[in-house]
Structure formats: C-alpha cells, structure tokens
Structure 1
Amino acid sequence: MIAGGAPPDPVTRAAERLEEAHRTGVPCAPVRDLLPPGDLDAAYAVQSVLTDRRLAAGRRVTGWKVGLTSAAVQRQLGVDTPDFGVLLDDAAVPDGDEIPWGSVLQPRAEAEIALVLEHDLRHERHTVADVIRATAFALPAIEVVGSRIRDWDISAVDTVADNASSGAYVLGTRPVPLGELDLRTAGMVLERRGEPVSTGAGVACLGNPLHAALWLADTLVRLGRPLRAGDTVLTGALGPMTAVGPGDVFEARIDGLGSVRAAFGRAAAEGEVR
C-alpha cells in the first residue's frame, strides 16, 4: 500500500490473507472477520480475485467443482445451497501419480463422479435432459480438498472465498457414457491402502450427481460464465471425506465407472530439501 493511500478494501484484504497462506504453505486465520457477516457474494468476489491472479500467471480453467452437496454439511455451515470453485490446470493430477506432500494444505480426500462436457450449457434454466445431452462421458474422481485456513476453522464464507477449499483432483482414465450408468444408485468405496475409509452412493450428492451439475449450470449462466464444451465438472462427494497423511495411497471404486488412485508423497525430514 502506498503511504497515505486508502487501505485495501475487505475483498482485497481477504484475498491477500489467503494468497499469503498459499505462497508460504502456512495456514491462515479465517477470512470471515474481514468480510460482511454471511456475505457469500463478497466471498465469491475474493475467489474471483484469486482466480484472476492465477490466470494472469499463466494458469488455465479446466472446469468447476461443486461443494456443500451434503445436507448435513450444509446444516453444519448454516447454508441451504451448494457452492462452487474453479478447477485450474495445475490442480489436475494423472491417475496414480504422486502428489507432493505439502502441495495441498491440510489435505482430505473424497470420491466423486466427474462429468466431461461435449457441449456448452448456456440456457437461463436447464433441465436434467440438457445436462445429459451436453455430457460426453463420466469418470471416477478423487478430489483432494485442502484449506488455506488454519485447522479447517471454516464457515461458508471462508470456504467459498478459498475457492471452495479446492486442492487437487485426479480423474480415472476409462470414460463411460451416461447411458450405461445410473448415477443415483452408483455405490462408492474409498480405500486407504486397501482398507475402506469412506462409503456412499450417488444419492448422497444432492440426490443425484446430475442435480449438482444442473445447479452449477444454472448458477454459472446467471453469473455470465456458462459451462463450456471440454469443461470437467466435479459433482460433489459421494461419502464422507477422510484425512490424508504423508505416503498415503487412496483408491476409489465407483459402480459402473471403475477405479481411480491418488498417491501422496512423504513428508520431508527436518532439514531435508525437497
């Protein structure tokens, strides 16, 4: 800030706090104290500022994620609607490749169904049929959520500002047309080194992952940035997320979609340069 100039506005201050945590790898205090209470519009403005900085640095939008698709989590955070975040190219990790430890702060893993679009979704109000027609195929996915906010001490405002707590994501490699799937009843098992740590089904995601994609399509049109052909949509968790430790290996199996793996590097020893 220039000496004698006006102090940064609340959105800028919140963005700077989260950016510093991302840059240093040290989680920060919540940002809800900087923004009007419960103001999700301000939180999305913070998310946009941070996204614009990533794009200016050469990143590319590869799609979107839907969060807060569980009724229990919505009640916990005091909201009655999902949220969304932006997926960028540097967050995409190939199936089974190692995710360096520390690249995602306070990581947790959850299994999801990803939809990859073949057509834009630009209507003011979409139907489930529109979403189905626009989808090229589905893939199993593991989303590695992370929080720049210390100890996951988050409200809805905090997680929205923090890009819906996005970290990294891993997609399976066997595309499956929607006509071969029943996403509502698709069962999921997430294992850590062969031991089940989370189970669920498509119905846990707003009743059907297609409902989450529909909500996202309508929401983004209202904001003037519709879903486009080629976008990947992470539709939301099929079961509880689980904490991640150094060296962990996760595999998610989803009925009809096959499996996907996420592997994490070990933590650096004290004094070791990684």
Structure 2
Amino acid sequence: MTDVARVAGLLRSAYESGTPVPPLRGDLLPVGDVDAAYAVQQAQVADWLAAGRRRVGAKIGLTSPAVQQAFGVYQPDFGVLFADMAVPDGGEVDLGGLIQPRVEAEVAFVLGADLPFERVTVADVIRATDHILPAVEIVDSRIAGWDISIVDTVADNASSGLFVLGNQPRRLSDVDLRVAGMVLEQAGEPVSVGAGAACLGNPVHAVAWLAQTLAAAGSPLAAGDVVLSGALGPMVSVTPGAAYEARISGLGSVRVCFGTREEA
C-alpha cells in the first residue's frame, strides 16, 4: 500500500528546498497506479488549502502528442491551480522559486457556469464558457531531470508551476480553436509551433474530459474557474533572462519574462 503521507512529504520538501527528488515510481508509487498518485496530489492540495492558498481552477496536462511522446505517457492528467500561481501578462518571474521550468502555450477557459455532469458534451462546455484567453503555462517538476511517468507527474500536481493569462478575452463562439495556429517566440524567433488540434483534437474536448473526470470524482468545475486546457505544441526549457511570447490566432498574444539565476 502506498504511504501517501510520505510521498507527499517528499514532494513538499522538494518545493521548500528547491532540490528535486528521484522518480517516485517503483518503491514509493506502484508503476501505473494513477489512483495512488492522485491520492498523493490530493493530500498536498489539502495541506495547501489549510495553509491559506486559494484554488482558482485546474490545469490539464499531457494532451499534446508532442508532449506525450517526449515522456512516454499517453493519457491526459490534471492538477489544481492556485491564485498565487498567476503571473501578470508581461510580468517577470523570479527563477529562484522554480526548479527546472519549461513553458508551453495554451488556451485558457474561464467558466461562467458550473459543469457538474458526469457526462459532459462539447455543447455543455460551450454553454458554460464565459470567455477564453491565450495563456502561457510555466510547468515545473519536482522530479529530478524531468524523469517522469504518469504517476510521477500526477503526484506532483501535474508538474504545475505558474501561469500567465492574456488580458483581452474572446468569446468561444468567435474562434475555431481546432484550426487556431500557435507560435511561441523567444527574442522574436519561433521556439515552438502548433495548433488547437494538437490538444486532444480541440481544446474544447480537453475541457469536456476534465469536467466529467472531476464531476465523477465529486469535485466538479464551477463558475469562475480557470481551466488551462493543455499544450498546443512542444514545451520549451526556460533560458534565464529570456522573454517568451505566445501568439494564438484569433486570441492574440501573452508574454512572460524570466530573471537570471544570479538575480534569483
């Protein structure tokens, strides 16, 4: 049986020390035991909430074939977003609070209605979405060398770090997300390209998957939640001192800068 408290404690120590831990799969988490991994995630979430952090939504991971192939993981996962993870558009991130960050461009959904159904349709997601925004997710891993399997990343709150939202909302009905092109640039040069179809065929499909998964678990998405729907292309390792700008057709752009390690 998995010692949930022990594994959660190891990850908490990695957060506090900035030193990653070896892969969890094997002795600490049975290979492929996703339920045990989510139990570890939930234990950490409970601790964070008790410490005063505010939940503001959820993130979906492992939706892009490029990202799945990179880690040998072929199913999506999810984690929890907190208010203190949000970075303003154009803001600078202190690398001292991260271990081995990477960036990826996504579409963020902001819900205007609850999604409590265990069977969620695309129409349900469309009706429930108040607006969408371009987003950059700054993913991070407490697992050394990003040597992750599905159980490693799930336990680690889906390799969450920070997130940046654009500030020009769009109506979902005004954008065909399946064919929306994405380019992520560093110093004006493309470092990742993709499209909405890379995210489970359409980011709306990813949100529908998450909504019914969370409803079945008894913690459904609610009005006001922010949902990061998943990467539209390959993730990119962060270069200290660099700035990254994601452009998504029909949605506009969002930008984030990073400090240097010396400054951190």
Q: Report the TM-score, using the length of structure 1 for normalisation.
A: 0.93
1:21 matched residue in structure 2: 14
Secondary structure of the structure 2 residue equivalent to 1:184: helix
With over 3 angstroms needed to count, the CA separation of the structure-2 counterparts of 1:140 and 1:215, relative to structure 1, is same
With over 3 angstroms needed to count, the CA separation of the structure-2 counterparts of 1:217 and 1:23, relative to structure 1, is same
Alignment pair present for 1:116 and 2:117: no
Q: Deviations over 1:96-120 (max 9, x none)?
A: 1111012122000000000000000
1:82 matched residue in structure 2: 76
| Alpha-carbon distance, 1:149 to partner | 0.8
Query: How far apart, CA to CA, are the structure 1 residues paired with 2:5 and 2:153?
Result: 16
1:264 matched residue in structure 2: 258
2:194 matched residue in structure 1: 200
| Among 31, 39, 42, the residue aligned to 2:36 | 42
1:61 matched residue in structure 2: 55
Question: Which residues of 2 match residues 134-149 of structure 1 at below 5 A?
Answer: 134-149=128-143
Secondary structure of the structure 2 residue equivalent to 1:214: helix
| Alpha-carbon distance, 1:75 to partner | 5.3
Q: Deviations over 1:138-175 (max 9, x none)?
A: 00000000001111011110000000000000000000
**One-letter amino acid matched to 1:208:** N
| Among 180, 190, 194, the residue aligned to 1:186 | 180
Higher gyration radius (CA): 1
Query: How far apart, CA to CA, are the structure 1 residues paired with 2:46 and 2:20?
Result: 21
2:245 matched residue in structure 1: 251
- Aligned residue-pair number: 263
**One-letter amino acid matched to 2:257:** A
Q: Is the 8 A contact 1:17 1:31 kept in 2?
A: no
Name structure 2 gaps, 5 residues minimum: none
2:64 matched residue in structure 1: 70
Q: Is the 8 A contact 1:104 1:168 kept in 2?
A: no
- Aligned sequence identity (%): 61
2:92 matched residue in structure 1: 98
Alignment pair present for 1:177 and 2:164: no
| Alpha-carbon distance, 1:9 to partner | 5.5
Query: How far apart, CA to CA, are the structure 2 residues paired with 1:260 and 1:99?
Result: 14
Secondary structure of the structure 2 residue equivalent to 1:102: helix
Secondary structure of the structure 1 residue equivalent to 2:177: coil
